Chains A and B, each alone.
Chain A
């Protein structure tokens, strides 16, 4: 399936329909996974082959939903661009939304560019209801859904995809996608800015796949937006616990939520602690400070002198400071190694306690520096 860039797709669309699709491909974020935009593929035309282009008026819209990608055919008529589109809901042939509950269809206005996007969102809402009704095939999964629905923290931000019942085994599967109510607003900005793409809204999604109706095979997975994942130290830094056998979502989800919240708190706390540490060093070593990271407060370089012996001290503060001990690197300004680099020595084992405040931490390296200079 050829995925077209928004610009290419728009260039092939009939000019009268272009504004409608522009809002879809540029601003089209629907559902919980708003980090992914809506995609358009398979652009075709309903006109005769003699009609000069661009005249494409029907296409396939890819919509992320509950970890799946819905592929809906949207059918316009270039000859009658003012008419509302028709839909073919792919494999969900049984999905038949109620037209009266689609205000943007009943009052379709081709002059409003966001009309199509709003209509798609309304259809998704009915699609969600349709999937929830399909959970009735499994009482266990229906219970899971009902228990989550009652919790205001999760009930409003939930997408469910009920899989097809296996005609051979009779197995029924489903996937729950929940947005975890974690506050990422206090994460330092510098941690979020080093992403290649505009991350959009910071979100953490928990996907729980039930491979059987009795919940004996449950596979959870945590999805973080790129900025959050980077801020937390990458995908390897965060491991969620396995779904307990016989457990319920209503117990498991808060557990994961708390774990993530703690992690975020660590990160935030570490930032503040680093800033405090740097501030203390600045206070103690005022004139001896060569440079320091004024954004993330992760590095500090001091020029110290001990009995006319000058040397540099580089302090590297880890992400999970003060839990993790800072690294001190002593570097000579006189001596070179055989490779032409300034002679340096790393010191990790020195008296340290994460419970010390910044001043205390600044004092201790002062003594260590003297001993190192002598050596």
Chain B
């Protein structure tokens, strides 16, 4: 259905302007049907227009004014009811006979929105009798905005050209010449304008019967297309799965958080033990330094556990610099290889260029598994003499770190001076050991 718009009035042109507009439209098939009935009549022809009137209100806000409200009254012509002959519902004086009117309209009286007339070779102006009838129809049908559609068929003298003109009138109290332009949707150059879908319900009985017969293949009992319902079900299933995955993620995150807390706790314990072991070692070394001149001929005493240095002891503490996806054992493993010979009390093996004394303190990392930069420097071997203490402390963080429970210090191995210990990550035994 096309829309034809005419502006009735603007109640206020200032702030909050209110504009009432009326639109009227007729579908192509209704229009052509009316024309067909009219053109085939050998005299003037008339009938009634059936349809509906609805209202649409549009509120627009722009920078120029606060807001304006536009009320659109839409008259849509769905169908027409032609009269079999002239004067079928009125007399010579134009008095409408309501009984005859009801006989023509039957149960469609409530759908009447206007009436039409077809006249050949006359002016596009409401005639005397049409005005009289219109006034009465407005009153009898109770339609204040009853419209009148006038068709005029103009032919040239030699009948070579015929023009069908139509005008929609909206007669009011003051003037019977108020006209509304009638638009027919899709009657034009559709290549340049959008093809408009009619919003008018199809009143065809044949269409209704076909849909009823074959509709079950496409529609469910509620009149909704089945495909739509299936799509909606898929959507619902996806939504459920997404919700489930969210729950799983939530749980795994909680587990991870808990494990992370345990790891951090263990790190703190390790650091504490390291500090303690370094302290103990220092005391032992001090004590050994006091008793060292008596026992100097005995370079290798199997019972001197204080001077023995554990060599090639694998690191019992995993390096926090190690990438997660390496082939190393699991990160959270707290067990140490059984043949780890490293001892807490022995001085730590020196790296190349190291000053030679172990780091008494066991500095931990950042607590989240990341290592400090000093560890990296120590591993490479480039040491700043001024920072060697700190570096040693930091570099010894992951060296010779052995759990007391899991490892017993070995006193039988001797120190091979000058050869730095080979540290293997993850407490792995060195090759060949």
Q: Which residues of A contact B (CB under 8 A)?
A: 44-49, 51, 58, 73, 75, 77-80, 83-84, 86-89, 93-94, 96-97, 99-100, 102, 105-108
Contact = CB atoms under 8 A, between A and B. Distances in A.
Given A75-B119, A96-B131, A105 B86 contact: no
A46 B92 contact: no
B87 A83 contact: yes
Given A44-B121, A93-B175, A99-B93, A77 B128 contact: no
Interface in B102-120: 119-120
The contact size tier of chain B is: 20 to 34
Given A49-B162, A93-B175, A58 B121 contact: yes
Given A48-B42, A108-B92, A86 B129 contact: yes
A88 B152 CA distance: 14
A18 B127 CA distance: 23
B86 A83 contact: yes
B121 A99 contact: no
Contacts of B86: 77, 80, 83
B240 to A, nearest CB: 70
Nearest to A46: B120
Nearest to A107: B92
Contacts of A99: 93-95, 132
Contacts of B159: 49
Contacts of B127: 73, 75, 86-88
Contacts of B129: 86-87
A78 B123 contact: no
A77 B44 contact: yes
B155 A88 contact: no
B122 interface: yes
B57 interface: no
Name the prevailing secondary structure of the A interface residues.
loop
Contact of B128 (A45, A78, A86, A106): A86
Given A58-B121, A102-B93, 7 more contacts: A46-B120, A49-B155, A73-B127, A75-B119, A88-B123, A88-B127, A88-B128
Contacts of A44: 120-122
Contacts of A87: 127-129
B252 interface: no
B122 A75 contact: yes
Contacts of A80: 43, 85-86
A84 B92 contact: yes
Contact of B176 (A51, A93, A106): A93
A69 B14 CA distance: 47
B366 interface: no
B130 interface: yes
B136 to A, nearest CB: 11
A102 B159 CA distance: 37
Given A86-B130, A106-B92, A46 B175 contact: no
Contacts of A49: 155, 159, 162
Interface string B155-168: 10001001000000
B177 interface: yes
B125 interface: yes
Contacts of B131: 96
Given A58-B121, A83-B86, A96-B132, A46 B176 contact: no
A47 B86 CA distance: 14
What are the nearest 3 A-B pairs in CB distance?
A: A44-B121, A79-B43, A99-B93
A46 B43 contact: yes
Interface in B45-91: 85-87
Given A96-B128, A100-B93, A79 B175 contact: no
A73 B92 contact: no
Interface in B143-180: 155, 159, 162, 175-177
Given A80-B86, A88-B125, A99-B93, A51 B42 contact: yes
B36 to A, nearest CB: 13
Contacts of B123: 73, 88
A51 B120 CA distance: 13
Given A80-B86, A83-B87, A84-B92, A58 B122 contact: yes
Given A75-B119, A87-B128, A96-B132, A105 B92 contact: yes
